[in-house]
Chains A and B, each alone.
Chain A
């Protein structure tokens, strides 16, 4: 590796920051997702991604995230859900 490392500054996230879930409204969805991930040994599998979608849906419903169409978040649309 002869190229010197380029100095890199952290860039802000595309949609900004997640507001904190102080009331634990989406903790249940989060725990389901984390349990799924443990089962598949942290592989980003399809069913876990659906649970991630549920978590984000919970956030959107509780004003903890701006509502956005699923294709902009890289998640499968609702009609594809089994």
Chain B
């Protein structure tokens, strides 16, 4: 009689009585008698329900138990739904992070698409500074282990003054029997000189495709910002190293150039 059909009704009826302490729901036989004779006292919701529907204490107990079970079930369901939705959102974020990252990179031009601004270097930057010593720029190279290219600088160093543009060459030879795309990145040491090292044009950040067995020259056209001379932190710098690293790159399924890090 008090099966599944009763449970929802009981739950609905008892929902507002949530916090009623357990012991108050049962009326003793004596109290039952008193209530029917005596003037109406303030009753709990459960007691009212029991009287209204003329239920015995056992029937009330069953109903109440069913009510609690239903509540627990609903609470578990809610918690379960919350956690599974968090899991789904995290999973979605994981999948969405790849296109999101790509979008941000394309907007800001960081780490991939170069934003080139041809008006950045005005002709007044190219006034050689009157410095008593010349700065030595050395050239070093590195290639990724899986890139079968021989990549070397064609001059060991260049001595120049800040504000003077200089041209330097690297040479790369693809000694494998396949066409390979490489992508170069560079670094300037010491680190604090890097903001003054301005490249007008070079061969980095964009794909460089070498046919099988091809050897090609790669120029770098650069200068050191004349502000270098007026920076007190740069006073003792007279050696700068320009380091190029070539990675193997390939076009992935979306047509994006990505580095390959393992064979």
Contact = CB atoms under 8 A, between A and B. Distances in A.
Interface of A: 5-6, 8-18, 20-22, 27, 30, 33-34, 37-38, 41-44, 49, 52, 55-56, 65, 68, 71-75
A76 B161 CA distance: 15
Contact of B204 (A13, A30, A73): A13
Contacts of A30: 169, 217, 219
A56 B115 CA distance: 22
B24 interface: no
Contact of A13 (B163, B199, B210, B214): B199
B191 A20 contact: no
Interface of B: 109-111, 114-118, 120-121, 123, 125-126, 134, 154-161, 163-167, 169, 185-187, 191-192, 194-195, 198-206, 208-211, 214, 216-219, 221, 223
Contacts of A20: 203, 208-210, 216, 218
A75 B165 contact: yes
A13 B167 contact: no
A18 B172 CA distance: 14
Given A13-B200, A55-B167, A34 B160 contact: no
30 contacts: A5-B191, A6-B191, A6-B192, A10-B186, A12-B114, A12-B116, A13-B200, A13-B201, A13-B204, A14-B121, A15-B118, A17-B203, A17-B204, A18-B218, A20-B210, A20-B216, A20-B218, A41-B159, A44-B164, A49-B165, A49-B167, A52-B167, A55-B167, A71-B123, A71-B126, A72-B118, A73-B126, A74-B123, A74-B125, A74-B164
A27 B216 CA distance: 9
A12 B183 CA distance: 13
A42 B135 CA distance: 12
Contact of B206 (A5, A16, A34): A16
Nearest to B116: A16
Nearest to B160: A44
A37 B165 contact: no
A37 B186 contact: no
Interface centre among B160, B200, B209, B218 (most CB of A within 10 A): B200
Given A8-B191, A27-B217, A44-B166, A13 B114 contact: yes
A79 B228 CA distance: 30
A77 B209 CA distance: 34
A15 B200 contact: yes
A15 B221 CA distance: 10
Contacts of B192: 5-6
A65 B200 CA distance: 12
A72 B123 contact: yes
B116 A14 contact: yes
